[in-house]
Amino acid sequence: MPTKSQKIQHLYNRAAFGLSFQQFEQKRKGKLKLRQELKELLEEGIDEIPLEVIADNPFVEFKEDWENRKGSRSEVQKLFREKVRETRRQVRGMSLRWMALLTDQNTAVREKLTLFWHDHFAVRTDNGYHAQLHNNVLRKYALGKYRDMLLAVSKDAAMLGFLNNQQNNKRKPNENFARELLELYTLGRGYYTENDIKNAAKAFTGWKYDRFTCQFRFVDRQHDKSEKEFMGHSGDLNGEDIIDVVLANRQTALFLSAKLFQYYVSDQADEVIIGKMADRLFKNDYHIGDLLHYIFSSDWFYEKRFVNNKIKSPQELIHGVRQHFGLEYGSPEALLYLQNSLGQRLFFPPNVNGWSVGREWINSSSLVNRMRLVSQLTKNEELGIRIKDDLDGQTRGIRGSRKFLSTGRMDWPEFEKQLKDLPKEEMADRLADFLINQPLKSETKETILRGVRDQKAEKRIKWLAVTIASLPEYQLT
């Protein structure tokens, strides 16, 4: 059975991105009360700070010229496209700003959940301003009721453009959004028919966005007002009706609960627990914040089988290292390089299904590079990973890893302060508790203690920390 210290570490690792060594030591030395830690975490880590890299709508200036036909519309089109390309280049700044929020203790809980929704609604757009608006929708509604989020996302410019609902009209219904709404966002595959998709698509006809204001607009003349049948319901159904029908189906609660269980608890499904989560979610009108509280306050969440059983995603690994070692970069491009090279680029999910999960992140090559990461950051070595493409423009000019990773600085004085007077074995035990949240295996511990004897006194703590963070166990959370 995990100790109270292990449970608190587990809570912070899963609900956020872990603790700093200073925080860990403060909590270890204090009177550990799990309920109080949970209360503080869920109250203090949920501030909402929207991304505002693009401060004002850059397209609204074209609206009057377009509508009044001042000058050539082709010229307006050209200027509009140039502005879109300009906003795309600002996604770099959005990524960096978001990564700062992910490890801010005042925002970490909301931001980790926003990262979940970013994968759940895996939207990819060439328009940087649309990407920012979409990300802020996810952040705003992250901890609220799922209906509010689903409706807001369904009216979002990035989503309407990505899944072609901008082209969905009564003369030629486009089924892309309706299909993904049912398969990826609510019910899951197998719980609807092709006829349900066709009629859901008709219900969403006329749902558009204004290309200049980027706001939702309903075009009544393009809406199909015919009788529609959808999952046992009939009438002149519209988009909101479809959303209400699928949310009234408990299968949606099961589908969402399974995904949240995988994200926060385990890659191996437990149908009994997922069923209990679904009951709670369904009963409480799909309130996500309430469900998170239920997960983190449940005894089963802290069972040994769920502690250190999940493979870290690249974002979890990157920000876990930042938290654990107080890692700061003089060059922000280092963070862009890391996320791109490890394969999880914010704002650019690989496809509509989102990123990999669990063991899908690991192969023989990626495991070696992930295990060498802390050592390379400490020694300013090259990461040895080639970025395959530059689709988003983020890696342009940052091909060389050493230049950027060498600007990283770790908070070794804090480790020295806490550990310098301890015997070598106790140092190793304390660092294992902090970095991998479990005791070292006996053979591993013996090997590490033999190795640390060869280190000069002033290098022992750093060597121990780097060695433990290079174990396979550090890849787990």
| pLDDT one-digit tens code per residue, 193-208 | 999 999 999 999 999 9
Q: Is the Cβ–Cβ distance between 427 and 415 less than 8 Å?
A: no
Query: Would you tell me how many other CB atoms lie within 10 Å of the CB of residue 300?
Result: 13
Answer whether residue 186 is part of any domain. no
pLDDT of residue 404: 63
Give how far Cα 397 sits from Cα of 340, 384, 415, Å: 13, 17, 35
Amino acid at 105: Q
166, part of any domain = no
pLDDT at 12: 97
Would residue 439 count as lying in a domain? yes
What pLDDT is recorded for position 405? 67
The encoded tokens of residue 251 equal 């299968």
- Confidence tier at 43 by pLDDT (50, 70, 90): very high
Q: What's at 312, amino acid-wise?
A: K
What confidence score (pLDDT) does residue 389 get?
Answer: 45
Within 67-218, strands assigned E span 207-209, 216-218
C-alpha to C-alpha distance for 172 and 174, rounded to whole angstroms: 6
Name the domain boundary from 260, 275, 306: 306
Distance CA 90, CA 463 (A): 39
Cβ contacts of residue 233 below 8 Å, gap of 6+? 241, 245
CA dist., res. 201 & res. 298, Å (int): 40
What is the per-residue pLDDT for 267?
A: 95
Domain boundary among 290, 306, 322: 306
Same domain membership, residue 395 and residue 462: yes
Decide if 328 is inside a domain: yes
Asked if residues 178 and 192 have their Cβ atoms less than 8 Å apart, the reply is no
Tell me the two tokens of residue 407: 């600007």
Q: Which residues pair with 235 in a beta bridge?
A: 228
Cβ count near 156 (within 10 Å):
23
334 and 396 share a domain?
yes
- 378 with 431, same domain: the answer is yes
Q: Is 236 helix (H, G, I), strand (E, B) or coil?
A: coil
Distance CA 101, CA 48 (A): 10
Q: What is the pLDDT of residue 461?
A: 96
Find the mean pLDDT for residues 63-72: 75
Helix (H), strand (E) at residue 375: helix 364-379
- Which domain covers residue 321, as residue numbers? 314-475
Verify that 374 and 353 share a domain, yes or no: yes
Q: Which residues contact 74 (CB under 8 A, 6 or more apart)?
A: none
Do 328 and 416 share a domain, yes or no?
yes
Question: Residue ranges of the alpha helices (H) in 16-127?
Answer: 21-29, 34-44, 63-68, 73-89, 91-102, 108-120
434 in the same domain as 344: yes
| Domain end (from 259, 289, 306) | 306
Phi and psi at residue 406, in whole multiples of 5°?
A: -70, -10
N- to C-terminal Cα distance for the chain? 17
Residue 22: count other Cβ atoms within 10 Å of its Cβ: 14
| Residue 420 and residue 285 in one domain | no
How confident is residue 71, by pLDDT bands cut at 50, 70 and 90? Answer: low
Same domain, 369 and 438: yes
Q: Would 230 be classed as within a structural domain? A: no
Residue 163 contacts by C-beta under 8 Å, 6 or more apart in sequence? Answer: 176, 177, 180, 352
Task: Please tell me whether residues 367 and 424 are part of one structural domain.
Answer: yes
Is residue 138 in a domain?
no
Co-location of 406 and 468 in the same domain: yes
Let me know if residue 373 belongs to a domain: yes
Residue 364 pLDDT grade (very low, low, confident, very high; cuts 50, 70, 90):
confident
Under 8 Å between Cβ of 227 and 265:
no
* CA dihedral (476, 277, 184, 222) positive or negative: negative
What pLDDT, on the 0 to 100 scale, is given for residue 264?
98
Answer for the pair 198, 173: CB distance below 8 angstroms, yes or no: yes
What average pLDDT is seen over the chain? 92
- Looking at the structure, tell me whether residues 285 and 341 fall in a common domain: no
* Nearest C-alpha neighbor of 411 from the set 28, 96, 29, 22: 22
* Alpha-carbon span 137 to 240, nearest angstrom: 18
Q: Indicate the number of domains in the chain.
A: 2
Closest CA to 21 of 460, 414, 444: 414
Note the pLDDT tens digit of each residue in 310-333: 999 999 999 999 999 999 888 888
Give Cα 337 to chain centroid, integer Å.
18
Look at residue 391 and tell me if it is in a domain.
yes
Q: The tokens of 127 are what?
A: 């328009």
| Mean pLDDT on 446-465 | 94
Q: Which helix (H) or strand (E) holds 26?
A: helix 21-29
Beta-strand (E) ranges in 152-215? Answer: 207-209
Question: What percentage of the chain carries pLDDT values higher than 90?
Answer: 83
Reported as a single tens digit per residue, the pLDDT across 397-439 is 445 555 666 677 899 999 999 999 999 999 999 999 999 999 9
The model's confidence at residue 394, banded by pLDDT at 50, 70 and 90, is: low
Domain check: are 325 and 302 in the same one?
no
* CA 124 – CA 347 distance, rounded (Å): 7
pLDDT per residue as tens digits for the range 235-266: 999 999 999 999 999 999 999 999 999 999 99
pLDDT digits (tens, 9 = 90+) for 143-190: 999 999 999 999 999 999 999 999 999 999 999 999 999 999 999 999
Residue carrying structure tokens 């035990």: 429
